[in-house]
Amino acid sequence: MTLPGDRLQKLILELEDMETVIRPDPIPGAFEALSELKKHYRLAVISDAIYSPGRALRELLNGINLLDIFEVFIFSDEMGFSKPDPRVFTTAAEKLGVPIENMIHIGDRDHNDVKGPQQLGARAVLFTATRDRDKNMTTADAICERYADLPGIIARLDGARSS
């Protein structure tokens, strides 16, 4: 099926903005955990934009008061590559001004979010609060089941690197 250009563009925008119109609920404890982490670390968002592009994801984060917690944003639609491409993680490290070995990436997919950064020497936390399919086969440095646990997990991993 083909659509005239103007109707196709309208459909694309509706799909892109879907999550800004019908907003998902934040995961419980997200704001508190990320606010605590911001006191000690520089934070970035690395996201494979599937339907919602970086523009819409920034709007979504702003609407739930999380946008200002992050200093750097790496969205696949803006960068032209997605996780686990090494450029995603090296670009984040460069923009944050930290060595890749000092980064800890948090995500919910073992292949993209754990193995991707680990292949560069970064550490990774598998976040399972919303998706736990990879939990039994992960190579993650830690598993986080709820946001409330995340600051402690990051502190432990950070302390392990320092020792």
Report the percentage of the chain scoring pLDDT > 90. 75
From 120, 44, 41, 42, select the one nearest 75 (Cα to Cα): 44
pLDDT at site 36? 97
Residue 162 has a pLDDT of 54
> In the beta sheet, which residues pair with residue 72?
44
pLDDT(26) > 70: yes
Helix (H, G, I), strand (E, B) or coil at 114: helix
* For range 130-136, the mean pLDDT: 92
Task: For residue 25, give the nearest of 68, 63, 69 by alpha carbon.
Answer: 63
**pLDDT band for position 21 (cuts 50, 70, 90):** low
51-110: pLDDT as tens digits: 889 999 999 999 999 999 999 999 999 999 999 999 999 999 999 999 999 999 999 999
Please state the rounded mean pLDDT for residues 8-18.
74
Q: Decide if pLDDT at 161 tops 80.
A: no
pTM of the full predicted structure? 0.87
CA–CA gap between residue 153 and residue 136 (Å, rounded): 18
pLDDT higher than 70, residue 3: yes
Percent of the chain with pLDDT over 70: 94
Placement of tokens 């402690």 in the chain: 152
Domain residue spans of the chain: 7-162
| Assigned CATH class of 7-162 | alpha beta
Q: Which one is predicted more confidently, 15 or 31? A: 31
Per-residue pLDDT at 22 exceeds 90: no
Arithmetic mean of pLDDT, 110-121:
97
Token pair of 62, please?
């702003």
Average pLDDT score over residue span 142-156: 98
